[in-house]
Amino acid sequence: MFRFFNSVSLTLFQQVNAAFRKTGVNPVVLTTINANMDLDMLFGGVADIIIQIAFYIGAVLIIGGILSLLLAYKDENADAQSRAVRLIVIGGALVGFRPLLEMAGIIG
């Protein structure tokens, strides 16, 4: 079963690759699949994407927290001030996630 699946998927891969080559477009995904990349490269790319998403989420949380803090100070609402500071701290932790992992030597 696996040989049949592999031969069918390889044939399909070759057909799609040939179709892209005729148009003159370099298929990045197919080139990446064809490059026989190892698992470290694959997981490194996935980890980099996750860290980048965490950075952007952290930046949004910081901006939202600052706006919430300003509104809480205006309304003199202590609970909202506490929530806003919490958002700012969590956002700062997410923004600082990459430098923290780099200093720990987990990522390069």
* Residue 23 CA: distances (Å) to CA of 15, 17, 29: 13, 10, 16
How do residues 82-103 score in pLDDT, each as one tens digit? 999 999 999 999 999 999 988 9
DSSP, collapsed to helix, strand or coil, labels residue 77 as coil
Residue, of 108 and 97, whose pLDDT is higher: 97
The yes-or-no verdict on residue 75 having pLDDT over 60 is yes
Query: Which of these ranges, 23-27, 32-36, 62-66, 95-99, has the smallest mean pLDDT?
Result: 32-36
User: For the chain, what is the largest distance between any 2 Cα atoms, rounded to a whole number of angstroms?
Assistant: 69
Burial of residue 81 (number of CB atoms within 10 Å: 0-12, 13-18, 19+): middle
What's the pLDDT score for residue 28?
55
35-71 burial by CB neighbour count: b if 16+ within 10 A, else e? eeeeeeeeeeeeeeeeeeebbeebeebbeebeebbee
The yes-or-no verdict on residue 3 having pLDDT over 70 is no
- The confidence band for 6, taking pLDDT boundaries of 50, 70 and 90, is very low
What's the pLDDT score for residue 5?
40
Residue, of 64 and 14, whose pLDDT is higher: 64
Tell me the C-alpha distance between 20 and 40, whole Å.
Answer: 28
Tell me the C-alpha distance between 81 and 88, whole Å.
Answer: 11
Structure-token pair, residue 105: 């030597």
The CA R_g of the chain, rounded to the nearest whole Å, is: 23
Residue, of 51 and 12, whose pLDDT is higher: 51
